[in-house]
Amino acid sequence: MSFCEWLARELGRVGIAGSTRRRIVAEIEDHLACDPEAQLGEPAALARQFADELGTVRARRAGFAAFAALAIAGLLYGAAFLVGVQGFARHRSSLPALALIGGVLAIVGAQVAFVAGALAGLRAFRRRRSLVVPRAEAVILGRRATVGLVSGLAAMAGLGLLAYRNGMPTSENTFVVVAASAGAVALLIAVPIMVSALRLRPVGDGEPGDVFDDLGALVPPALRGRPWRFALAVAVVLAVVIAVAGIVQQDPYDGAARGIADALACLGGFALLGRYLGLRRS
C-alpha cells in the first residue's frame, strides 16, 4: 500500500471524507512527486493532525455561527412577541391545544436557545486562539450549537402556531409570521456550518471543561468549582430580578410567582441539560 493510499484510509478513519480527503491526498501526492524522500511522518499521525486542526476550526465556527444566527433570530423574536402579544391577549384561539403547544415552544424554546447559543458563542470566543481543542470540548461546542439552533427553530415555530388563530388583526398576525419565518431562515443558514462541525471532530484527548471555563474570572471565587451552588445563585438572582420587575410594574405577587417559576425552570434546565451542554462535569 502506498503512502497516499494509507493516508486516504487514515483520513477516512478520523472522519475526513469527500472532497477534503481527495484534496489532501492530491497535495501530498504532489509533494512526494517533488521529493520522494520527504519526511511527512506516519499517515495515521498526519490524519489525526488534520482532524485536530480542521475539527477545531469547524467546532469554533459552529459556535460563532450559532451565536450570530440566534442573536438575529432573538431580535426578530423580541419584535414579533412585542407586536403579537397584544393580539394574543385580545383574541382567544379557536384551537386552544395548538396555542398551548405554540406558547410552550415559544417560551421554553427561546430560553433554552438563549442559554445554549450564548454558551456556544462564549466557549468559541474563549478558544478563539486555540490551534487544537480536545475532542470532548468540540463535542460540547457542537451540542451547544445544535441545541441552540434546534431550540431557536422550535421557538420560531411556536410563534407561528401562536399567530395561527382566528380573530387576530391581519397586520399583527402577518408581522409575527414574517418575523418568525425570517428568524427561522437565519437559523437555517447556520445549520450547514453546524453539520460540518459534527461530521469532523478533533481526535485528541482532554477535558471538555465546564461553566467555569466559560465564565472564568466572572464567577465569584466562592462559587468556582461548585456548579450546583453556582446554578442556585443564578436561579436566586433571576428570581429577585423578576420579582423586582413585578414590583416596578405594580404587580408584586405576579412578579414573585414568575420569579420563582423562572428560578425553578433554571434549576430544572441545569439538572436536565447541564451535563450534556458541558456546564458541569458530573
Write out the residues near another protein by the rule CB under 8 A: 20, 23-24, 26-28, 30-31, 33-35, 38-41, 45-46, 49-50, 52-54, 56-58, 61, 131
Nearer to another protein, 27 or 251 (CB): 27
- Alpha carbon distance 160, 163 (integer Å): 5
Tell me how far, at minimum, the Cβ of 275 lies from another protein, in Å: 30
Nearer to another protein, 40 or 236 (CB): 40
Residues 6+ apart with CB under 8 A from 262: 235, 238, 239, 242
Nearer to another protein, 14 or 80 (CB): 14
Residues 6+ apart with CB under 8 A from 241: 259
Q: Please count the other Cβ atoms lying within 10 Å of the Cβ belonging to residue 212.
A: 19
Tell me how far, at minimum, the Cβ of 47 lies from another protein, in Å: 9
DSSP secondary structure code for residue 39 in this structure: -
Contact yes or no for 195/59 (Cβ under 8 A): no
Tell me how far, at minimum, the Cβ of 58 lies from another protein, in Å: 7
Nearer to another protein, 3 or 164 (CB): 3
Tell me how far, at minimum, the Cβ of 278 lies from another protein, in Å: 23
Tell me how far, at minimum, the Cβ of 144 lies from another protein, in Å: 20
Task: Give the length of the chain.
Answer: 282
Tell me how far, at minimum, the Cβ of 126 lies from another protein, in Å: 17
Nearer to another protein, 39 or 250 (CB): 39
DSSP secondary structure code for residue 91 in this structure: S
Contact yes or no for 25/47 (Cβ under 8 A): no
Residues 6+ apart with CB under 8 A from 142: 59, 62, 194, 197, 198, 201
Among candidates 213, 246, 247, which has minimal Cα distance to 227?
213
Nearer to another protein, 92 or 128 (CB): 128
Contact yes or no for 279/119 (Cβ under 8 A): yes
Contact yes or no for 156/77 (Cβ under 8 A): yes
Tell me how far, at minimum, the Cβ of 39 lies from another protein, in Å: 6
Q: Please count the other Cβ atoms lying within 10 Å of the Cβ belonging to residue 210.
A: 20
